[in-house]
Chains A and B, each alone.
Chain A
Amino acid sequence: MAITIKINGADRTVDVDGDTPLLWVLRDVLGMTGTKFGCGWALCGACTVHIDGVATRSCITPIDSVGASAVTTIEAIGATAAGAAIQKAWLDREVVQCGYCQSGQIMSASALLATNPHPTDSDIDSAMSGNICRCGTYLRIREAIKQAAQSSGQGG
């Protein structure tokens, strides 16, 4: 069944079963491999994308549930103010190690920052505890979110 969804501002049409998770449409059908597979059950957050700005686990999101909503992936998050600030802070703070989970971390963090410009530690815990990092970069993720919040605050 041909399904059209809007990804990073462009309409994309794919021919898959309606219950196919968005993750596999992105990775295997459209070749957008920045979004990662980690668990398949929304337990690790590696597959996080934004659907209308909300951090969403693409591994359990059926493609036919997306409808007319706007999907944003790691490949385009740098075009948003929050995403760009998060990416910069990630590099400034040397957050990344193996990097595999970081697409998902960045998507969760940028969704947080876009709606909450000055997150507290507890806000950060709530928004980020669904994202597992096996390299244990949590401390730097927290610092980077705070840095990005500060820089966004100064910028606007």
Chain B
Amino acid sequence: MRVDHLSSFAAGSARSSSASGVSRRTFLQAAAAAGGGLLLSLRLPFASGEAEAAGGNGFAPNAFIRIGTDEQIALTMPYVEMGQGTYTSIPMLIAEELEVDLKQVRLEHAPPNEKLYGNPLLGGLQATGNSNAVRAAWQPLRQAGAIARTMLVSAAAKRWNVDTRSCRAQGGEVLHPPTGRRAKYGELAADAARMPVPKNVALKRPQDFKLIGTPAKRLDTPAKVNGTAIYGIDARPPGVKIATLAQSPVFGGRVKRVDDTAAKAVKGVRQIVRLDDAVAVVADHMGAAKKGLAALVVEWDDGPHAKLTTEAVASELEQATLNSGAVAQNIGNVDQAMASAVTKVEATYYLPFLAHATMEPMNCTVHLRKDDCEIWVGSQAMAWVQAAAAKTAGLPLDKVIVHNHLIGGGFGRRLEADGVTRAVEIAQHVDGPVKVVWTREEDIQHDMYRPYWFDRLSAGLDAKGMPVAWNNRFAGSSVLARWAPPFFKDGLDPDTTEGAIDLVYALPNMHVEYVRVEPPGIPTAFWRSVGPSHNVFVTESFMDELAFAAKQDPVAYRLALLDKNPRAKAVLALAAEKAGWGQPLPERVGRGVSLQFVFATYMAQVAEVEVGKDGAVRVRRVVCAVDCGTVVNPDTVRAQIQSGIIFGITAALYGKITLKDGRVEQTNFDTYQILRMNEAPAIDVHIVQNFEPPGGMGEAGTSAIVPAVANAIFAATGKRPRKMPVDATALKQPG
């Protein structure tokens, strides 16, 4: 998860875009805090040109650390908590260098408290996604903690008229051991604000970490077990009305005729709002709004996509891969190597559109007034929310006040502001605040979907069965080209290709091409594990196919290609060992393996699946070995891997959004199934300990599990799933 969704795309890895590349003056400033204490304002990395331009030459802080006279340390920053544990991991970084107990650090809700800090939340590319919050904050937040500590020590030394080197910080206090004097941070904070900001601070050696690497308790959870946590959907500004809506069932269609007589007669219905392509019912409560919506008679003009089908989308992509695309990676000479290969292997793969289906349905509350607009929403991308609302309402950015909330599941859905635009459009017709809540059916049928992908691969093997040529050409939508156009260059973007290029294996001749095809009439968006959600499935399925063609064990085959990649080799060997790879299994039970290096994290998984006679697939057990560099909170790492695996199994076994007559066929959790408690496998997570910079953890588990399950199904049945999700009917035992 990251503050700047694009920094890792630009830099390859956010860990390189730390404060070291930014002058100290623009990285951090210190001042007296309003109400006493020390206020550090800092700028977390923004690698994109747009964000830099938005900041101009001035110092544009986007995170604040306030050390209060009450000994409380408040951290305000634009990352959002959506369950991934960021509100705990991030304070750990500060607390470690500042030498305070984690309990003293309080992470304040984004957006910042404007009154306290006098700084509105900045625009620019401010978003949480792509497993990047810890990666982006790792260096600058520890530096900020060390700077604050140094200034507090300086303030104490000056007060006591002693050498700073004879003082040290410990447990939220500065100590002067020779004289036994001590002062709490709160007492020193105001003086510290007048100290010079040190130019260089030494960070702790990883061996000396006291907090980082320990399983800290989550800070955001107590309110989530007693009903007091407030999500966007729980916002209740005084006088709020509730609206629900029907959008054109075909993307791009319009409202032709509305008969609202029966709807208006429903008790509690206040108003029907007709837009070009949607109708909303505004009521006293959602029960009345839904009843009113059901009573509404709407005729639609389906527009140009009235006949669109998934098959047509797939066919267009398949055709597109017959022509060349943009070259994402070229190593050696594939054509030559292929010509000399002893064996040739070819395969094509299809990945479906997927909905996010966050448990909190889409919603947004808007109070549009003559000169300004207030928004209550849970978002991964506050800047997009503000911009979308300002544009729709015709207001300047600074007249849009956004209250961010806890997020009931993001997974990429809440990187989009379409729901905000829609809510503002409705609010333009409503006097007073209105909360627009989508039904689950609207949420699934008007999502912005993980793109459909088609991949065409071929490989040449030498006499020993090892790959001498690897060819991959794939077609699908570029989400980044829409979301942040500057990052789409020369037919490529770094998200779409992650996991398809820079593979962990030694492949002497490799050629990867991407053909951008935007499907008509269906919007696409980021989805948990983004580019790798597609690419890792394809590359790891194909690697398995090569091992089979070479008549070799899938783990041994991969290991033989990893001599130059010890971290990848180590996680693969560890996962295989812990999974009991090679040990006998009953009939129609199989193990499958996957290996990836994405989001700056190495991960190997072994899935064990059982395929029933009826073809039903049950994932019994998953073993995961992970090397994500320095682990900030090991319990969060485990939780995120468990979470990502369950999310990925849902996709592998059930996930598909299909179109017929331009309409999404799935409606609710009966037709868009989610893995349930009785289907959840045992999951063993093994963490490789080292002090490399931290890798991302929010998504890696998802991309790794899908090929592991597919490969296990092949091991169990001899049938290889090349079209996701797994088709149980094709796996039925004959006879």
Contacts and interface: CB of A to CB of B under 8 A. Distances in A.
B116 interface: no
Contacts of B407: 98
B227 A135 contact: no
Nearest to A86: B225
Contacts of A77: 226
A35 B227 CA distance: 7
The interface size bin for chain B is 35 or more
B330 interface: no
A97 B639 contact: yes
Find the residue from B233, B643, B668 having the highest chain A CB count within 10 A.
B643
A37 B406 contact: no
A117 to B, nearest CB: 19
A73 B225 CA distance: 12
B359 interface: yes
Contacts of A43: 668-670
Most buried by A among B85, B224, B242, B411: B224
Contacts of B228: 34, 75
A134 B440 contact: no
A142 interface: yes
Interface in A84-122: 87, 90-91, 94, 96-103, 106
A140 B677 contact: no
Contacts of B233: 33, 36-37
B342 interface: no
Nearest to A132: B674
Contact of B268 (A16, A99, A136): A16
B677 A91 contact: no
Contact of A91 (B83, B221, B357): B221
Interface stretch (B283-291, B385-393, B553-561, B581-589): B283-291
A27 interface: yes
A135 B439 contact: no
A99 B409 CA distance: 8
B408 A100 contact: yes
Given A17-B267, A135-B83, A96 B286 contact: no
A139 interface: yes
A141 B643 CA distance: 12
Interface string A31-43: 1111111111101
Contacts of A142: 677, 680
Contact of B411 (A17, A31, A129, A134): A134
Given A16-B267, A134-B358, A38 B440 contact: yes
B446 to A, nearest CB: 16
Contacts of A46: 359
A37 B221 contact: no
Interface in A54-100: 73-75, 77-78, 87, 90-91, 94, 96-100
B236 A31 contact: yes
Contacts of B669: 38-39, 41, 43-44, 132
B700 to A, nearest CB: 14
Interface residues of A, number: 61
Interface string B401-433: 000001111110000000000000000000000
B359 A98 contact: yes
A94 B226 contact: no
A99 B408 contact: yes
A32 B230 CA distance: 11
B227 A74 contact: yes
A24 B406 contact: no
A36 B359 contact: yes
Nearest to B645: A136
B288 A100 contact: no
Given A37-B233, A125-B677, A136-B675, A28 B361 contact: no
Nearest to A103: B227
Given A17-B291, A134-B358, A124 B221 contact: no
B668 A28 contact: no
A139 B682 contact: yes
A142 B686 CA distance: 20
Contacts of A130: 676
A93 to B, nearest CB: 10
Contacts, number: 196
A34 B285 contact: no
Contact of B440 (A32, A40, A124, A139): A40
A98 B82 contact: yes
A4 interface: no
B635 interface: yes
Q: Could you say which of A20, A97, A103, A138 has the most chain B C-beta atoms within 10 Å of its C-beta?
A: A97
A3 interface: no
A128 interface: yes
B272 to A, nearest CB: 18
B680 A138 contact: yes
Contacts of A137: 639, 642-643
Given A37-B233, A40-B439, A74 B226 contact: yes
A87 B221 CA distance: 10
Nearest to A63: B287
B231 interface: yes
A91 B226 contact: no
B615 to A, nearest CB: 21
Contacts of A133: 359, 646
A136 B647 contact: yes
A3 B237 CA distance: 25
A25 B268 CA distance: 12
Contacts of A39: 440, 668-669
B234 interface: yes
Contacts of B220: 99
Nearest to B528: A134
A114 B8 CA distance: 49
B360 interface: yes
Contacts of B357: 134
Contact of A100 (B85, B217, B231, B439): B231
Interface string A1-27: 000000000000000110111011101
B268 A17 contact: yes
Interface string B209-229: 000000001101110111111
A25 B242 CA distance: 12
Q: Which of A37, A103, A130 has the most CB of B within 10 A?
A: A37
Contacts of B288: 16-17, 20, 24
Q: A-B pairs with the 7 shortest C-beta distances?
A: A34-B227, A136-B646, A100-B408, A98-B83, A97-B83, A99-B224, A28-B285
26 contacts: A16-B287, A17-B291, A28-B242, A36-B233, A38-B440, A38-B669, A78-B226, A90-B221, A94-B218, A98-B82, A98-B359, A98-B409, A99-B229, A100-B358, A102-B224, A102-B225, A128-B677, A132-B359, A133-B646, A135-B83, A136-B675, A137-B639, A137-B642, A138-B676, A141-B677, A142-B680
Given A129-B678, A136-B646, A138-B677, 7 more contacts: A17-B291, A20-B288, A46-B359, A73-B227, A96-B83, A96-B225, A134-B359
